[in-house]
Amino acid sequence: MQTWYAFLTGPALWVTFIVFLGGLVVRLAFLYGLSRERDRIFYNHMDWKWGFRSILHWLIPWGSASMRLQPVFSAVFILFHVGLLAVPLFLSAHNLLWDRAFGVSLWSMSDAWADALTIMVLGCGVFLFVRRMIRPEVRILTTAWDYSLLALTLAPFVTGFLAYHQWGPYELMMVLHVLSGEILLILIPFTKLGHMVLFFFTRAFIGFEMGARRGARAW
Amino acid sequence: MEQRNDSHRPVDVKKIQQLLDANNGARVRTWLGICSRCGLCAESCFFYLAHNRNPRLSPAYKFKATLGELYKRKGRVDWDFLQRCADIVWGECTTCKRCSMFCPFGIDVATLIATTRTILYSQGITPQGLARAVVNYRETGNQMGMSTEDFVDTCEWMAEESQDEVSGVTIPIDKKGAKYMYTVNPREPMFYPQDLAMAAKILTVAEEDWTMPSTGWDCTNLPMFAGDRALAGQVVRNMYEKAVELGVQAILITECGHAYRSALFEGPYLAGYPDGKPPVPIVHSVQLFYEYIRDGRIRIDPAKKLKEPVTYQDPCNVSRNGGLWEEGRKLVQFLAEDFRDMEPNRDHNHCCGGGGGYIPMGPEYKARRMASGRVKAEQIRATGAKIVIAPCHNCFDQLSDLNKEYQLGVKVMSLKEIICELMVIPEKFQPSDEGEGEGEKEA
C-alpha cells in the first residue's frame, strides 16, 4: 500500500497534472484554431463587453432568468460548484503538500469548514443523482456515463472524508482518494467536464451573438 | 410524411458525412461536447410546456436525438432514423432561439436544428410546403411563383385604389437612388394586396422617398428553413444586389419576422459576405413606423386611438432575434390607450408557434401547430386584451388560427392596418370631392 501511495503521489501525480493542464490547453488551442478556420465569420461580431456580461450573469447566483426559474436546483448547483473548487484548493492538508513540493501555498480553511463543505458537496451530489433519476426531462437525456462522471466527481470527496476521519482502512482510503482525484483530473479535458474552462467561451459567444448583434440579454 | 417522393431510397451516407464534417466547427463541437444534460432548457420551450412537459420536447433532447446522434453514428444512419429526425426538426422546433438564453452554456440549439435540416434536405427530405416554395424561388425568385408582370400590375392597381383615401399615392417601381427599397412577403401581392396599399399610404403621407423593386422584392427566405443553404444565399443576394443596383440607401422590410432575421443577420453568411454584414443597411417596418410617429412625420388622431385593451406579440425574429422590442412597444403606446404586456415579454417572449417555416409547411402540420400554440393562447388570454398586434405575417396567421381554436375573442391586427386607420391625412393628401386622384384641396 505504501508503494502505491508513493507512486500515486509521485510520478502519477506529475502525469496527472501534465495531462490535466496540457489536455485543457490542447483542447482550447485546437478549438481556437478550428474556430479561426470554420467559425471565422463570427469574430466579426466579437464584443468583449457583451461576452463578459453574459459570463458574469451566469456566475452570480440567480443572475439569470433561467436560474430564477428553478431556484432550488440553482442553489444546489451553485453550492456544488463552490464546494468542488474550494475544498481541494483550500484544504489545509493539500496546502501542506503544495508547500512541501513548491514552497508556496494558498490560504487554508479550517478542517471544520472543509468537513462541512465536503458534506455539502456530497449532499448536492446525491440531490443531482436523484434529480437525474426522477425528473423526466433530465432522465431522458442521461446516459450511464453521466452517472459515472457524477460518481467519479464525488469519489475523491467520499474517500477524503473517510480518510480524514479514519473511518475504514486509512491507507486504502488514502490510495483511493488520490487515485480517484487523479482519474477525475485526467478526465476533465476529455469530457463534458471540460466546461470548467469551455463554459467561459460558450457563454461569451452567445453573449455577443445575441447581445452585440441584437441587444438581447442571454441571461 | 416528409419525403418529397419515393419513401425508401438509399441514404447517401457520404453526403451526410461531408455535411457533418463541414459543420464540425469549434462551436458545434463544443456545444455537443459540453452539454451537461442538466435539463434546464426544457422549461424555456413552448413545445415542452404545451405538451404537459413531455421530456421528448426539451431542446436538449431534440438536438441530442438528431444532430448529436448523427455525429455519434458518423452519418451511418438509415431512412427511418432520418424520418424521425425530420419529425423533430420541423415538427417540434421553430428555431426561435429562446432556449439558448436559458442554457447555462448558451448552446445555440436553433443552429444545431438548422444544421440537421440542411443534412435532411441533402437527402431530399423536407416538408412539402417548403419543398414547393423552394421550387418557386428557384424558378421565379419568390416563394409564390409570382411573375414580375403580375407583381408590377398589383402594385399599380393598389396605388390606384389607394387614391380614394390618400391622393397622390404612387408605388414607384425601380426608382434609382431612392432612400428605401421596400421589400415584401409574397403573401401580400398574392393574397392580401391591401397590405401593399396600406404601406403605400403610410409612406406617401410620411413623404418618404421610396421604391419597390421589380425583382428581388421577396424578402422572405423559406429555403433557409427548408435547409437549402445555397438557394437561401441566392435569395438574399437577389435582394441585396437589386438594392445596390438601384443605389438605394437602405432595404425596408415589411412586417415580417424571418425576413428581417434573414436580411440582417443570417443572409450575409448565407450569401457569402465575408464581413457578415449586408451591403446596405436593413430597416424593419417596426423601426421606421416608430420613427415616423415619434418624429411627427405621421400624426395619430388622438380621438381615434384604440380604446380597447391591446397587447403586442413580440415576433421572435423582430424582438429576440431582431432587437426591436422597445421600438415595438413604444409604437403600440402611440396607437393604443390601454396597452397590456404579455408575460414573459420582449426578448424572452414565447414564439407564437408558427415560426421557423411552420406556417408555410402546410395544412398537414396544422393540428400540431394548434396544440403547441396553447402557450401563446394562454399568454394572450391572461392579458385580457381584445386586440393583438402582430408585426409578422407568420405570427399574424398563427394568432388568427389560435384565436379560432381557443376562442380568444381577439382581433389580430398588423401595425400598418392600425396606422392607416388612425393617422391624420394632411390636407394636401386629402382626395378632392370629385374623386380626382391628383386634386389638392385648398383650405
HEC assignment per residue over A47-110: CHHHHHHHHHHHHCCCCCHHHHHCHHHHHHHHHHHHHHHHHHHHEHHHHHHHHHHHCCCCCCEC
Q: Tell me the per-residue pLDDT of A16-54, one tens digit each, with 9 for 90 and over.
A: 999 999 999 999 999 999 999 998 888 999 999 999 999
Say if the Cβ atoms of B26 and A140 lie within 8 Å: no
Q: Tell me the per-residue pLDDT of A204-217, one tens digit each, with 9 for 90 and over.
A: 999 999 999 999 99
Question: What average pLDDT score do residues B71-90 get?
Answer: 97
pLDDT of residue A23: 98
For residue B39, give the nearest of A42, A45, A137 by CB distance.
A137
User: CA-CA distance, A150 to A155, in Å (whole number)?
Assistant: 9
- Give the amino acid at B426: P
From chain A, the residues in CB contact with B100 under 8 A are 206, 210, 218
CB B135 within 8 A of CB B228: no
Sign of the Cα pseudo-torsion (B417, B422, B427, B430, in order)? positive
Say if the Cβ atoms of A141 and B58 lie within 8 Å: yes
High-pLDDT (> 90) share of chain B, %? 94
Say if the Cβ atoms of A70 and B43 lie within 8 Å: yes
Say if the Cβ atoms of A214 and B276 lie within 8 Å: no
Say if the Cβ atoms of A66 and B64 lie within 8 Å: no
Say if the Cβ atoms of A218 and B101 lie within 8 Å: yes
Q: Tell me the per-residue pLDDT of B261-293, one tens digit each, with 9 for 90 and over.
A: 999 999 999 999 989 999 999 999 999 999 999
pLDDT of residue B2: 45
From chain A, the residues in CB contact with B39 under 8 A are 135, 137-138, 141
CB A5 within 8 A of CB A175: yes
pLDDT of residue B434: 56
Taking CA–CA distances from A199, the nearest residue in chain B reads: B105
Distance from CA of B102 to the nearest CA of A (A): 5
Say if the Cβ atoms of A35 and B103 lie within 8 Å: no
Q: Does B406 touch chain A (CB under 8 A)?
A: no
According to DSSP, the residues that pair with B282 across neighbouring strands are: B251
Interface mutation vs chain B, best among A24, A130, A137, A217, most B CBs within 10 Å: A137
Question: What average pLDDT score do residues B208-218 get?
Answer: 98
Confidence at B7, pLDDT banded by 50, 70, 90: low
Q: Does B60 touch chain A (CB under 8 A)?
A: yes
For residue B37, give the nearest of A64, A138, A203 by CB distance.
A138
In sequence order, the 6+-apart residues with CB closer than 8 A to the CB of B220 are: B143, B185, B186, B235, B256, B258, B259, B262
Interface mutation vs chain A, best among B40, B41, B48, B265, most A CBs within 10 Å: B40
Other C-beta atoms within 10 Å of A129: how many? 15
Task: Share the mean pLDDT of chain B.
Answer: 95
Q: Which of B226, B241, B314 is nearest to B271 (CA)?
A: B241
Q: Does B385 touch chain A (CB under 8 A)?
A: no
- Give the amino acid at B134: V
From chain B, the residues in CB contact with A38 under 8 A are 24-26
Q: Tell me the per-residue pLDDT of B379-418, one tens digit each, with 9 for 90 and over.
A: 999 999 999 999 999 999 999 999 999 999 999 999 999 9
Say if the Cβ atoms of A217 and B30 lie within 8 Å: no
Say if the Cβ atoms of B323 and A199 lie within 8 Å: no
Q: How many CB pairs under 8 A join A and B?
A: 138
- Cα torsion for A93, A98, A99, A105, to the nearest 10°? -90
For residue B348, give the nearest of A65, A195, A203 by CB distance.
A65
B16: pLDDT strictly greater than 90 = yes
Distance from CA of B166 to the nearest CA of A (A): 36
Say if the Cβ atoms of B34 and A202 lie within 8 Å: yes
User: CA-CA distance, B228 to B232, in Å (whole number)?
Assistant: 6
Confidence at B1, pLDDT banded by 50, 70, 90: very low
**What is this model's ipTM?**
0.95
B6: pLDDT strictly greater than 90 = no
Distance from CA of B48 to the nearest CA of A (A): 9
CB B90 within 8 A of CB B6: no
Q: Tell me the per-residue pLDDT of A22-31, one tens digit each, with 9 for 90 and over.
A: 999 999 999 9
From chain B residues 23-52, the ones with a CB under 8 A of any chain A CB are: 24-27, 29-31, 33-40, 42-44, 48
Cell numbers standing for residue B409: 375573442
Question: What average pLDDT score do residues A57-69 get?
Answer: 96
pLDDT of residue A2: 87
pTM of the model: 0.94
Taking CA–CA distances from B98, the nearest residue in chain A reads: A218
pLDDT of residue B187: 95
